[in-house]
Amino acid sequence: MKKRRLVCPSAFDTVPRIRFYFDFISPFAYIAWKQAPALAARLGRELTPEPVLFAALLGHYGHLGPAEIPPKRAYIFKQVLRRAHDLGLRVTPPPAHPFNPLLALRVASLDLEATARIRAIDALFAATWAGGRGVADADAITEVLDQTGLDGQALVAAASAPAAKDALRRQTDAAIAAGVFGVPTLLVDGELFWGSDALGDLERFVRGEDPLDHAALDRWSTLPAAAQRRR
């Protein structure tokens, strides 16, 4: 099995990389995370996890979250189970959804040694979507991290400090500046790929096999708007 390669978001971009924007609140981010390391290894890229607050993205663009629209919420959970089945993944909902992911995201944003950071992210995703007790409170997060051999109490304390809060805020602002509007989003060579079902598109893009017709895209991008919905 190939070892996952990961670098911290603050590292200089001296090697080609794939930036993985995520929030633990998204089951599709979990599904994508389970595939992204192998994808990055196939493409010879470094995988850089970028925790962001999905609620802040929604607020910036004036969107409702999928879980805030009851029929969409019901459909999405069906879709999650179908996608998980296709991939042979176990997906179990957390104790509540939506929930507050802030502390877990701040833990994932800490400046940890690379293998420790990936262990923490793996464990927090699993606690959310693979039958764990969730990551909505400090006690649960501490227990999850302790079970991975990390010092959960120390990490939760560090994640509660102003520096960790600022780091997550900066990452979210940087994601918005890069054009990220949802999670999961992957950024490679200046191109954004949104959703767990976009990993195949990303791979074709990197391999130079993107079927995108740029002339057709130009026509779409210059279409005038003939109506505007009242907000």
Decide if pLDDT at 11 tops 80: no
Q: What is the pLDDT of residue 13?
A: 52
| pLDDT at residue 199, rounded to an integer | 98
The helix/strand/coil state of 72 is helix
Q: Residue 140 has what pLDDT?
A: 97
Query: d(Cα 100, Cα 106) in Å, to the nearest integer?
Result: 12
Q: Is pLDDT at 7 greater than 90 in this prediction? A: no
Q: Which domains does the chain have, with CATH numbers?
A: 17-221 (3.40.30.10)
pLDDT band at 2 (very low <50, low <70, confident <90, very high): very low
- DSSP result, 98-126: S---HHHHHHHTS---HHHHHHHHHHHHH
Span 161-215, pLDDT tens digits: 999 999 999 999 999 999 999 999 999 999 999 999 999 999 999 999 999 998 8
pLDDT in tens, 97-106: 999 999 999 9
